[in-house]
Amino acid sequence: MVNKNLKRFYAILVFIFLYAPIIVLIIYSFNDSKLRGSWNGFTLKWYYELFKNKEALRALYYTLIIALSSSIISTVLGTFAAIGIHGMRGLNKKVILNLNYLPVLNPDIVTAVALMALFRLAHINFGLFSLLLAHITFSVPYVILSILPKLKQMNVYLAEAAMDLGATPFYSLRKIIIPQILPGIITGALLAFTLSIDDFVISFFTTGHGISNLSIYIYSMARKGINPIINALSTLMFIFMIVLLLIINYRSEKTEKLIEERR
């Protein structure tokens, strides 16, 4: 059918638009020339230089430290908060939910300058610690939003039955509630991790002298112009993201299958 081919053609065009810049970037990370216009042959030298570049490595180190610690803390905080919110009713619940939505809806730059003002007023040094606080703040809402639907699906009476049968609240939380909402918790944790790795705007305003994550590093390099080292870095980050995404995709397919089987 002509119509069908036309539709496919349109889809391919849009995908070319989405992927051409990324692919060009990846190809040029193997180009043995600093000038991007010409292809001077295959090389891995930009990758070598990347791994010799102390600044880039330090940025990678900070990115991972912040992403790991902020995602762990915000997952714990968010899980408890979601369970607490789920048990609330009325106006209180509405207020908390709307407050929780604020960082999601607000432009990043507003959240960023607001946190910057707080840290300055509270005399918190701008650095790794303020960065961590900021990342937790913008991650928790997403963790909560990915756990709340799972809590809605959960059978409310199971936890109550467990407590009637003598389980302490903490025991029933650990043995009944957490296992049931685990998929939501894991999704939330992965989301928090990737949000943290990806963040630029909020980090840019809340970090201190000498502490930069990969995004800030890329920004400061990109402002100076093109640098093949960033191409190499982009390629590695791109591959890392794809692997992470495939894992998440595989996981969600697996849980879907599990749910199907249980039915």
Partner 1 sequence: MKFKNIGYPYFLWLGIFILIPLLLVAYFAFTTGDSQNFQTFSFSIENFKRFFTPIYLNVLYKSVNLALISTVICLLIGYPLAYIISKEKPRIRNIMILLVVIPMWMNFLLRTYAWLTLLGKNGILSKALSYIGFNNVQLLYNDTTVLLGMVYNFLPFMILPIFSVLIKMDNRLLEAARDLGANKRMVFTRVVLPLSIPGVITGITMVFIPAVSTFVISSLLGGNKSTLIGNLIEQQFRYTNDWHFGSAMSIILMVFILISIALSSKFDKDKEGKGGGLW
Of the candidates 110, 161, 247, 258, which one interacts with partner 1 according to CB under 8 A? 110
Q: What one-letter code names the amino acid at 195?
A: L
Of the candidates 50, 59, 60, 85, which one interacts with partner 1 according to CB under 8 A? 85
Q: Is 202 near partner 1 (CB under 8 A)? A: no
Q: Counting every residue, how long is the chain?
A: 263
Identify the CA nearest to 192 among candidates 102, 60, 69: 69
Q: Is 88 near partner 1 (CB under 8 A)? A: yes
Q: Are 116 and 194 in contact (CB under 8 A)?
A: no
Q: Is 205 near partner 1 (CB under 8 A)? A: yes
Of the candidates 145, 176, 202, 211, which one interacts with partner 1 according to CB under 8 A? 145
Q: Is 61 near partner 1 (CB under 8 A)? A: no
Of the candidates 68, 178, 222, 258, which one interacts with partner 1 according to CB under 8 A? 222
What are the Cα distances from residue 21, in Å, to 15, 17, 54, 94, 138?
11, 8, 27, 43, 29
Of the candidates 129, 180, 201, 255, which one interacts with partner 1 according to CB under 8 A? 201
Q: Label residue 99 exposed, middle or buried (CB < 10 Å: 0-12, 13-18, 19+).
A: exposed
Which residues, numbered 37-56, are part of the site for partner 1 (CB under 8 A)? 37
Cβ partners under 8 Å of residue 252, min gap 6: 187
How is residue 34 annotated by DSSP? S
Residue closer to partner 1 by CB (options 42, 107) is 107
| Distance between CA atoms of residues 148 and 161, nearest Å | 21
* CA angle at 32 for the pair 29 and 37, rounded to the nearest 5°: 80
Of the candidates 52, 55, 106, 247, which one interacts with partner 1 according to CB under 8 A? 106
Q: Tell the smallest beta-carbon distance from residue 222 to partner 1 (Å).
A: 5
Q: Tell the smallest beta-carbon distance from residue 96 to partner 1 (Å).
A: 6
> Which tokens sit at 75?
């997952």
Q: Tell the smallest beta-carbon distance from residue 242 to partner 1 (Å).
A: 6
Q: Is 215 near partner 1 (CB under 8 A)? A: yes
Of the candidates 32, 49, 108, 167, which one interacts with partner 1 according to CB under 8 A? 108
Of the listed pieces 46-54, 64-72, 187-195, 254-262, which binds partner 1 according to CB under 8 A?
A: 187-195
Q: What one-letter code names the amino acid at 139?
A: S
